[in-house]
Structure 1
Amino acid sequence: MTIRPIVRFPDARLQQKAETVTQFDEALKTLCNDLLETMRAAPGIGITAPHIGVLRRVVVLELSPETGPKFYINPEIIETSEEMIRHQEGSVSMSGMVDDVERHAKIRLRYQDLNGQEQFEESEGLPAVCHQHEVDQLNGIFWLQRLSRLKRDRLIKRYSKLNR
């Protein structure tokens, strides 16, 4: 397992749509393990392949040490609740910056596991927020795009100052 360099905001790759994974092989498992190590080193609780410059539809989440990591290949949100929640979000690609984002409180997800088998998962609260955040990233929607223009501009300005 290797810790890979993280693509930093405002890199254009963070706004590109990731490609569907079609090969479920050792290279995919290596990518997933590298993503896990990179996420832990960041540190973070979720990461996508585009965060390391690989435009593939791969997500790794580790919401707690007790539950361990979970790998989602080609995830797709197929149902959402009408109820909405606000949760503080950030990104490994823009470390130190966070703000509240409104998301669906519950979702249903379809994805493939590391062997290519179709799976379904229902989540609510923080897990639902994480799924939506990471699927957005796979679709080329960086989390800042979910903020008002004013909040987004303030965060970008603050981030730029911190990284001079």
Structure 2
Amino acid sequence: MAVRKILQYGDKHLNTTCEKVEKVNKKILNLVDDMMDTLYEGNGIGLAAPQIGILKRVILIDLGEEEEDPIIVINPKITAQSGNEKDYEGCLSYLGYEGEVFRPTDVTVEGINIKGKPVIYNATGLLARAFCHEIDHLDGVLYMSRAEEMYELNQE
């Protein structure tokens, strides 16, 4: 378990389409552990494997709700979406900025969990937005390319 360096905007890994995970093995489980350590160190709500330089289709989302376990999805795919809402997003790979991005308000995401079993999430609101944001990372898409407008945050 280790906190990994989060790659920053401009790193070519962030613009690369990730490979499907063929088998959930020790290497993938170690990756998930490192992603958790890294996410909690970075104070974000989500992290995708390419953000720490690993080009595999693995995402982690934790909205910080006490009773909820972090969501870990391997090979996630949005299979249904509806609604459309503009809201602010930021990214651990582009610190100090946020942008207004249109995202679906409801998504269905399918993938597998760390035990290799199929999982389906029906997500709304912030969780739907987080899924879209993290899955975009797996396809080499950064939210800035979808943003209507970008804003620099006041670093005080």
Could you state the TM-score of these two structures normalised by the residue count of structure 2? 0.92
Write the distance in 1 (CA, Å) between the matches of 2:26 and 2:18: 20
Q: CA deviation at 1:147?
A: 1.7
Write the distance in 1 (CA, Å) between the matches of 2:39 and 2:88: 18
Q: CA deviation at 1:13?
A: 1.1
Q: Is residue 117 of structure 2 the alignment partner of residue 79 of structure 1?
A: no
Q: CA deviation at 1:80?
A: 0.6
**Structure 2: stretches of 5+ with no match in the other structure:** none
How large is the RMSD of aligned CA atoms in angstroms? 1.5
SS of the aligned residue for 1:107 comes to strand
Q: Runs ≥4 in structure 1, deviation > 3 angstroms?
A: none
State the Cα deviation string for residues 76-111 of structure 1 (Å, max 9, x = none): 000011x21122111111112112211001011111
SS of the aligned residue for 2:97 comes to coil
Aligned to 2:141: 141
Instruction: Return the structure number with greater strand share.
Output: 2
Write the distance in 2 (CA, Å) between the matches of 1:109 and 1:69: 15
Note the 1:19-58 alignment, pairs <5 A: 19-58=19-58
Write the distance in 2 (CA, Å) between the matches of 1:134 and 1:21: 16
Write the distance in 2 (CA, Å) between the matches of 1:126 and 1:142: 17
The letter of the residue matching 2:24 is: F
Could you state the TM-score of these two structures normalised by the residue count of structure 1? 0.88
The letter of the residue matching 1:37 is: D
> Percent identity, aligned pairs only?
29
SS of the aligned residue for 1:54 comes to coil
Aligned to 2:9: 9
Write the distance in 1 (CA, Å) between the matches of 2:32 and 2:21: 12
SS of the aligned residue for 2:136 comes to helix
